[in-house]
Structure formats: structure tokens, C-alpha cells
Structure 1
């Protein structure tokens, strides 16, 4: 293996060759004159020849030293330029946003271009997962979550409460007038969210008493899967209105009645308290609050 380069000694050599003085070189390098002298001696010992001669006006490069000095000067100049480029590239801030796949696909991603145009220096990475995120470990900067807003020890901002609407595949309703009143939904298979809460709350909000049929049917961990099951004609689904916009426009789903009701849960932006000191985090939080205000 090749011996390591004496970079400190070479840097001292280049600076002394430029300045013609150990004292001036030490001031430029922000070290002591003794440290520069030691590095020059180490380099001369390593190459086995003197690199400077002492004159009344200062130090002058020997013929051997003068022969390599321009190349080393250029090399350290290139290193400085490379470091500058690296610093400039890392100046672009990165934000990692965690949210569920359905919210990312139907709401966040279509709007994200507006944030990118406002903040071209901030790179946003979206992680779509329904798994719980440990915000204190630092990998995720902001989590967008659907819940009750109880996130102890974290900075929590309420964004919006989605409006739930009942939808179904046209095939499921073929030859059937479909439900006319909320209680009529109980005559169809119901597709549920993970905790089976939304149908019970929606029916109760529309005056439908407790009925065991409201708890029957398949439950899905993610709203994306819930919508796919409804498209496949497996039953009625109660989903956030914005999630089904594309499917309704394309005719893959229909809204079975115009009786929306705000969901029990809301969407929240969650981050570490100290992260709010970062310009990029504050910029994203300000932007998403404005977007959520306009739905």
C-alpha cells in the first residue's frame, strides 16, 4: 500500500513558497511559526533534500522546490474549489416527509410542485407508510398523520378534517336504485377503515341507531386498499372526499348519496419541537397550512 501523503507538510510548503516567510505562512494557516517550521523539516526529511534556502529577504525555493511548487499550488487550489462545490451542493436542504400512501398520492403529491417552485433550494423526500414513525430518532423531519392530534412532546399543527362520503362501484348498484337514506346503506356489504369506527360514526351522525350490520364486513389498513375494494364491487366504502375524486370523475366509483359528514379524526403535521428552528421545516409547515386551508 502506498504511503500516505503528508498533506499538512505539503500545505505548509505551498504557503511558505507563496509568502516567502514562515511567519506570514503561519498567519495564513492560523498556526504557530514553530508548527510551520516543523512541517517543512518533516517534508525535507522525507524527500531527502532542502526545499528552501534562507536569504536576507526571507526564504527562497531551491531548484527542486521551485520545480514542484506550481503543481502543488494548483492541486491545493483544486481541492479548495472542490470543497466549495461540495459546500454549495450540501447547502440544498433536504426534508423527509412521512405520510400514508393514500394521502401522499391523492393530496400531497399533486400539490408538491407548488412548494418546489416556491422553495427550489429545498429537496422534499416523501416516504409513504402507514407504520408509526419515531420522530425522536431524527430520520423523518415531518410526519403527516390522520389521528386525534395527541402526540406528546412534539410540535403538532392541525391541518384539516376530511369529509367522508359513501361510494360504490357502478357495478354493485347495477339494477339497483342504491341507498336513498343512510339506513339503506346497511342493506349492502360495508367496507371498513382499520378501526371500524367511521361507518358507526357516520350512521350515528345521520340518526341511524345501533345496528349489528354496521360492524360487519372487511376492514382495510389503508384507504387506498379500501378504495380498490370498492372499485372491485365488494361493498360500500366510506372514504375522504378528496381520495375518491379521481375515481368518481373516471366513473370507477359513484357517490351513492350526498350526505357527507366530517370525520372524527383530522390530519396533523407533526415534527420535533427543535426542528421548528430550521428554515426548511418552517417553510414547509407554513406552506402546507396554506394548502390545507384551501383544501
Structure 2
């Protein structure tokens, strides 16, 4: 039968061997000198031999004690290093964030470095999925979701409405009639998201009468697919300006009119009701709200005010 190791006695032995003094070892261990003497006697009784020679100047390791002291000292140093590693792991907090791939790639991930600089002890794990996460089952701390904000039994905070701009490939607009006002977009094939609502809302918001041509055209489930179709010259697309910024800068797309407008749906921060009690969740939510406000200020710095009726 295995017997338990006399951990305290071995630890005391190491300290006395290092300091050569009962009193100094007691101070290092924050115990009394009597307690140190007792542990040394217990260990010597356990191994059946003397480990120290008592001298007027203190204690000196015997040949047996000197033979095992270096290995025990190294072992306790490694134990101390292991405990320190565990403390560091405990101090490092992990946060799992779930959102759709387009939002993660075009908006969240490019900004995430600023969060890491502000909170280096919080490790963020981003899950890009189009599925609505079950926060408890999937162990998700924060979900950034695109919709109408209806998420029962969860805490929901409106983040921002994507700012839509009309874009097209340079070749398409160069080969056709000029686009000088929103009405002119109806002379082109229109590309839609899966809801097929944004073009009608955008045209109405800019004073264009209801027109059946606003409903025609191909529809795409993902904004990246919508952008790729526009790049291929298949028609005009209304896309979030953040998603198309790189393509516009590279000349693969052009913004055909300076008429930004909020999408019908908005992005929401979704958490469990008790999640905000955790410091790392609270820090991330406050940071992402701050970033969203910066995005909105940038997008609408030179655009007309948004009437309340257009907000989600």
C-alpha cells in the first residue's frame, strides 16, 4: 500500500538545509522554531537516520542529508514554478464570442487588437457561424447577432445598424447610363440579400416612389456573396460600407451614390442574464459598444440625419 509523502517535513528539511538554522527556516516558513524542530525529528524518524549534525553555529547536513538535499530543493522549486503557472492561468480570462463570418472578418477582427492591448489578460476566442448560438449549451459568453433584437430570456443590447451604400463594378456603371440620383438605380439589375427588403427601404428613404423593379434580381444569403456578385458585374448591391471598404479602396467596386442609410436589421450584443457580472464579459461589451459608436460617427459624419422611423 502506498503511503503519503511527508510533504511538510520534506519542505522543512529543504529550508533548514538552505539556511543552516532552525530560526531562519522558521522565519522562511512563517512557523515557530519548535514546529521546525518537530518536523525534522519526524522526518529523521521516518527515514531512520540523522539528516543534520547539530553544531554550535547551527545545523550542518549529514552525508545522507547532503546527498538528497539538492534533488529535493530542485523538486520544490519546480513545484513552486508549477503553482505560479496555475496562478497565471487563473488570472488569464478566456472569452468566447460568437458572430456571423462577414461581421467577424470585416468589422470585429480588424478591431480586436485594440481590445487585446487594453485587456491583455483576457483571451478572446471568436466563433464565426451563421447559426444562432445556444449560449449555455455552446459555452458562448457573448453573441453578436444580426436581426430584430428578439432573443427571449437573454440580455439584449442594440449595437448598431449596418450602414448600407450602393456599389457596383466599375465596368458595369461605365458601360451603362450614369447614376446621378437614387431613381437611376432602378435602370440596373439589383442584387438583394435573402430578405429582399433593403432596396425598397433604401429607395423609399430617398424619396423614390414604390416601383416593382425594386423587387427584381438575384438574392444571396451572405453579404460576401452579394459583394462577389457585384464585383462580377451582375448588378448593383446595397451592402454595409464596412464590408465593402477594401473592395472600394482596391477599385474592384465603386460606390455609385453618396447615400448611406441604415439597414432594416441591426446588430445586437446578446448575453445570458447573469453574464455581465463577470468582469471580462462587462469589459468586452463596453469595448464593443465604444467601437460601434466610433463606426457610426465615421459613417454619418457627412450624411443627413436619420429620422426616428428608420431606426430598428
TM range (shorter): 0.7 to 0.9
Could you tell me which residue of structure 1 aligns to residue 208 of structure 2?
207
Whole-angstrom distance in 1 between the partners of 2:98 and 2:198 = 23
Whether the aligned pair in 2 keeps the contact of 1:50 and 1:62 (CA below 8 Å) is no
Whether the aligned pair in 1 keeps the contact of 2:200 and 2:210 (CA below 8 Å) is no
| Change over 3 Å in CA distance of 1:16–1:246 after alignment to 2 | closer
Deviations, residues 77-116 of structure 1 (Å, cap 9, x unaligned): 3212212123214422222222222222222222222222
Q: In structure 1, list runs of 5 or more residues that go unmatched.
A: 29-35, 54-60
Could you tell me which residue of structure 2 aligns to residue 50 of structure 1?
48
Q: How many residues align?
A: 276
Could you tell me which residue of structure 2 aligns to residue 112 of structure 1?
112
Q: Identify the range of structure 1 (197-206 vs 263-272) with the bigger mean alpha-carbon deviation.
A: 197-206
SS at the partner of 1:96?
A: strand
Offset of residue 237 of structure 1: 0.6
Could you tell me which residue of structure 1 aligns to residue 265 of structure 2?
265
Could you tell me which residue of structure 1 aligns to residue 81 of structure 2?
81
2:243 counterpart of 1:243: yes
Deviations, residues 19-48 of structure 1 (Å, cap 9, x unaligned): 89xxx9xx98xxxxxxx9xx979x95xxxx
TM-score, structure 2 as length reference:
0.73
Could you tell me which residue of structure 2 aligns to residue 33 of structure 1?
none
Aligned ranges 1:84-233 → 2 under 5 Å:
84-137=84-137, 139-205=139-205, 206-211=207-212, 213-233=213-233
SS at the partner of 1:111?
A: helix
Whether the aligned pair in 2 keeps the contact of 1:51 and 1:65 (CA below 8 Å) is no
Whether the aligned pair in 1 keeps the contact of 2:11 and 2:76 (CA below 8 Å) is no
Structural RMSD (CA):
3.7
Whole-angstrom distance in 2 between the partners of 1:215 and 1:51 = 94
Offset of residue 162 of structure 1: 1.9
| Change over 3 Å in CA distance of 1:265–1:71 after alignment to 2 | same
Q: In structure 2, list runs of 5 or more residues that go unmatched.
A: 17-21, 32-38, 52-60, 296-312
Whole-angstrom distance in 1 between the partners of 2:50 and 2:140 = 55
Whole-angstrom distance in 1 between the partners of 2:129 and 2:183 = 34
TM-score, structure 1 as length reference:
0.77
Offset of residue 67 of structure 1: 4.4
Could you tell me which residue of structure 2 aligns to residue 14 of structure 1?
10
Whether the aligned pair in 2 keeps the contact of 1:223 and 1:239 (CA below 8 Å) is yes
